[in-house]
Amino acid sequence: MRALIAARRTDDPTWFEYGAVTLDAATIVEILEPHLTDRRRREIEAVLDRRTLNVAVVTDGMVDLGNVSAIMRSAEAFGVQTVHAIDTSNAFKRSRRTTRGADKWLDLYRWKDPHSCFDILSRGGFRVVLADASPDAVPLSEADLTERVALVFGNERDGVSEVTSSLVDGSVRIPMSGFVESLNVSVAASIVLHETHRQRVERHGRNGDMSSEERARIRAVWYLKSVRESEAIVKRSIHG
């Protein structure tokens, strides 16, 4: 197993640094475009069209490989680019078998405590919403998840920490009709992400809303990840 953060995020400037030369996103794309099939280029553009940086997923103290990897997979499937892991257990890892490579396309952040994570999210204009089975939480279908929101999912056994619970801006629950009182956390995450996606498409007409600059940066990084020996190709282009 590999640690959670095994790859650079798309906002890491080292993606574009080649020794003393720093390239822009457009140059990276221009160099690598001939090495991608038309189908792959269209696929990347289609995914960029549906991608958002205005929804984030936060996991708090999870330890189960299958659950956290399944959450990453659901996040990627519903067009979410960013996943934050509050690693209070110090044992958070991912399973590539369960993510099915979804983690390759995500921006993954790791935090040692909830204060640091939520401070960044709050300063970024995110409303932090906890997925909670409590009867005091707002039923999922009645919650407004259409604007900038960070969705928090807790530990498989104990839920979120008291500190995390005290820092969130609100909570939502999935109404239950059976004897069980809660769902597996990865299943719950999929349901919440689906509802968030549905609401955003209904309100805004689409889920994807990245700026041209954000699209350009992520496009360049995805090209680098999609082309075999991409760094060697870029270096040859620079140095002739």
pLDDT value of residue 224 = 97
Phi/psi at 147 (5° precision): -105, -165
Rounded to whole angstroms, the Cα distance separating 1 from 158 reads 24
pLDDT value of residue 66 = 81
List, in sequence order, the alpha helices (H) in the chain. 25-32, 38-49, 65-77, 96-99, 114-123, 162-167, 185-204, 212-226, 230-239
Q: Where are the domains of the chain?
A: 1-50+212-240, 52-209
pLDDT value of residue 2 = 39
pLDDT in tens, the chain (240 residues): 234 545 689 999 999 999 999 999 999 999 999 999 999 999 999 999 999 999 999 999 887 778 888 999 999 999 999 999 987 555 544 444 544 567 789 999 989 899 999 999 999 999 999 999 888 999 999 999 999 999 999 887 777 888 999 999 999 999 988 887 778 899 999 999 999 999 999 999 999 999 999 999 999 999 999 999 999 999 999 987
Point out which residues pair with 155 in neighbouring strands: 159
pLDDT one-digit tens code per residue, 31-79: 999 999 999 999 999 999 999 999 999 999 887 778 888 999 999 999 9
pLDDT value of residue 133 = 85
Tokens found for residue 65? 């490989």
Give per-residue burial for 101-110: e unless 16+ CB within 10 Å, then b: ebbebbbbbe
Rounded to whole angstroms, the Cα distance separating 99 from 177 reads 30
Helical axes 212-226 vs 25-32, angle rounded to 10°:
40
Contacts (Cβ under 8 Å, ≥6 apart) of 49: 206, 208
Strand pairing category for 93-94 and 2-3: antiparallel
pLDDT value of residue 1 = 29
Q: What is this structure's pTM?
A: 0.90
Fold of 52-209: Alpha/beta knot (3.40.1280)
pLDDT value of residue 95 = 45
pLDDT value of residue 182 = 79
